[in-house]
Amino acid sequence: MQDRTAAATTLVTIAEQDILNALREVLDPELGVNVVDLGLVYSTEVSGRDVRVVMTMTTPACPLHSYLREAAIEAIRGLVPEAGQVSVEIVWEPKWNPMMMSQAAKRQLGWR
């Protein structure tokens, strides 16, 4: 008789909040604020176990885009171990502006 438990497929559910929580661990080294609160994360998408993030930088001239992209991938892989393929796409439209920051980020940076 076949063991049904061994044959059963475990469904993995990855919540967007888990992805965002992982990305909150990624700090912009120049500002000391995480990429989510800075408003750099435009979208997250989960397809099965694969994760796709679309984000931007504060400026196209930002020298840290490769670093932040890799840090985002590592954070997701580290804090969401059930994730399969993780991709992070850097886009320049819409252009980032300070109004995209959370209130917490604005306070942290001394904005009112």
Give yes or no for residue 10 having a pLDDT over 80.
Answer: no
Give yes or no for residue 25 having a pLDDT over 60.
Answer: yes
Q: Tell me the three state secondary structure of residue 44.
A: strand
- Which are the contacts of 18, defined by CB distance < 8 A and separation ≥ 6? 79, 80
**Interatomic CA distance for residues 53 and 51, integer angstroms:** 7
Mean residue pLDDT of the chain comes to 90
Cβ contact 44:16 at 8 Å: yes
pTM confidence score? 0.86
CATH number attached to the domain at 11-108: 3.30.300.130
**Helix residue spans in the chain (DSSP H):** 4-7, 16-23, 65-79, 103-108
Cβ contact 50:58 at 8 Å: no
Give the pLDDT band (50/70/90) at residue 6: very low
Cβ contact 34:23 at 8 Å: yes
Question: Structure tokens of 5?
Answer: 């438990």
Question: Structure tokens of 58?
Answer: 């504060």
- How many Cα atoms sit within 13 Å of 1 on the Cβ side? 3
**Mean pLDDT: which of 10-14, 34-38, 82-86 is highest?**
34-38
- Give the model's pLDDT for residue 91: 97
Give yes or no for residue 111 having a pLDDT over 90.
Answer: no
Give yes or no for residue 16 having a pLDDT over 90.
Answer: yes
Give the pLDDT band (50/70/90) at residue 12: low
Give yes or no for residue 61 having a pLDDT over 80.
Answer: yes
Question: Structure tokens of 46?
Answer: 């989960």
Domain ranges of the chain: 11-108
